[in-house]
Amino acid sequence: MTRDTSKRESRKRKSRRWLIHASFSAAVALLGFVSHAAYADESGVSYWLPGRFSSLAATPQVPGWSMAAVYYHTSVEASGAVAAARQIQIGRFPATVNVDFNASLNAQADLILLNPTYTFGTPVLGGQLAIGVTGIFGRASTGIDGTLTAAVGPLVVTRMGSISDSLTSVGDLYPQATLKWNAGVHNFMTYLTGDIPVGAYDPARLSNIGIGHAAIDAGGGYTYFNPAAGHEFSAVAGFTYNFKNTHTQYQNGIDFHVDWGISQFLSKQVFVGFVGYGYQQITDDFGQHPALGGFRSRVFGIGPQIGILFPVGDMQGYLNLKGYGEFAAENRPSGWNTWLTFSISPMAPTSTLTPARRVVTK
C-alpha cells in the first residue's frame, strides 16, 4: 500500500467515525425530550409534516428558479385516544357521552409535493432571500377496527365493527420564505411558512388531504458544512400556531418541531448519512372531547439517507432518498415514512461550485 493510499484510507475511516459519532449524539439529544411529560392535534394530525427539512437546509443556493418534486409515503397506526378522536371528529358520538374505547387505527398516504422556488440574487439584510410555495396531490386511506362502549347515565351501548375511508385529491397550499447567511463553514437561516386551507377537507370524512384550518410556522436553522472534509450537519427548529377549525370549532395547541440531518460526502456527487426529527405539542388543544384531556401529541423519527448530484443539461439535478422509523409517539399515529426528492436548479459557475451551493434541499 502506498503512502497516498494509506492516507486516503485513514481519512475514510475518520469520516465514518465522525458520521457515526455525530448521528449518535443527535439521537441522544432527541431522546432527551422523551423524558419530559407529553400528552394532540385534532385527530392526531398536525400542520407540520416532520422531516420537511434535512441536510444542507441552511446553505445558500444559486439564484434563479428551482423546482423540487417529492414522493412521500407513510404508513402509520394508533390506538386508544387517537382512534377515539377520529370517531369524535366524524360525529360518531357527542361530547356528552362517556366513552371506553378499545380500537386500532391504520392509515396510509401516498403524496406528491411540488415546490417551485425563486432565489433572489440581490442580498436582503445581508442574506439570500428565497420565496416558494408547495402544493400537494395524492391519496390517503384510513381504517378503524375495534369496540366502542358508550354510556349516557344508566344506559350502556357496546358496538363492535370497523369503518374505513379513502380519498384521492389535492391538499392545502404551503407558501414559504427563507433568508440565509453564509460565514465560511457556518450557514444560518430563518424561515416563515404556513397553511392556506384550500385542500380537500370534510369533517365528516375519515380521510382528508387538507387539514381544515390555517396555520403559521416560523423558525431558524443552522448548517455546518466543511467541503474539504465532506462533513455536514444541519438542524432546523420552529413553532406552529394553529388557527381554529371553523368546521369543528376545534383549535390545536402550539407545536414545536426540530428536523436534523447528518451526512458525509463520499465524493463531490454522492453523500450518505442519517436524518431525524422530534415533534412535541407544547400547549393543550381547545374544543376537544373531555375524555381526551389536553390531547398533546409527540413523535420522534430517525433513519438513513443518500443523496446524489448530477448535471441535467446546463442545470443541476439532485436526487435524495431518506426514510424514518418513528418511536415514542403520544396521541398521534406513528409508523414509518419515506421521502424521494428530485430537484433541478441553476448550475453554479465552475469557480464557485461546491456541493453546498449545488443542492436544492427539501
Quote the CA–CA distance of 93 and 160 in Å, as a whole number. 14
Of all residues in the chain, the percent with pLDDT exceeding 90 is: 58
* pLDDT of 98 over the 60 cut: no
170 φ/ψ angles, rounded to the nearest 5 degrees = -100, 155
* pLDDT of 43 over the 60 cut: yes
Of all residues in the chain, the percent with pLDDT exceeding 70 is: 71
Per-residue pLDDT reduced to its tens digit, 199-222:
999 888 888 899 999 999 999 999
* pLDDT of 31 over the 50 cut: no
Confidence at residue 349, expressed as pLDDT on a 0 to 100 scale: 73
Quote the CA–CA distance of 356 and 180 in Å, as a whole number. 13
Confidence at residue 156, expressed as pLDDT on a 0 to 100 scale: 54
State how far the alpha carbon of 256 is from the alpha carbons of 129, 191, 194, 287, 299, in Å: 24, 14, 14, 20, 11
User: Considering the entire predicted model, what is its pTM?
Assistant: 0.79
User: Do residues 239 and 280 make contact, with C-beta atoms less than 8 angstroms apart?
Assistant: no
* pLDDT of 252 over the 80 cut: yes
User: Do residues 134 and 113 make contact, with C-beta atoms less than 8 angstroms apart?
Assistant: yes
Confidence at residue 333, expressed as pLDDT on a 0 to 100 scale: 82
Match 475511516 to its residue by C-alpha cell: 13
Class of domain 3-73+109-141+170-358 as given by CATH: mainly beta
Q: Is 78 helix (H, G, I), strand (E, B) or coil?
A: strand
Per-residue pLDDT reduced to its tens digit, 8-27:
555 555 555 555 444 444 43
User: H helices within 90-152, ranges in order?
Assistant: none
127 or 78, greater pLDDT:
127
Residues found in the chain:
362
Quote the CA–CA distance of 307 and 261 in Å, as a whole number. 12
Quote the CA–CA distance of 340 and 112 in Å, as a whole number. 10
Per-residue pLDDT reduced to its tens digit, 151-163:
555 555 555 567 7
Per-residue pLDDT reduced to its tens digit, 327-337:
998 888 889 99
Average pLDDT of every residue of the chain: 81
207 φ/ψ angles, rounded to the nearest 5 degrees = -110, 135
* pLDDT of 353 over the 60 cut: no
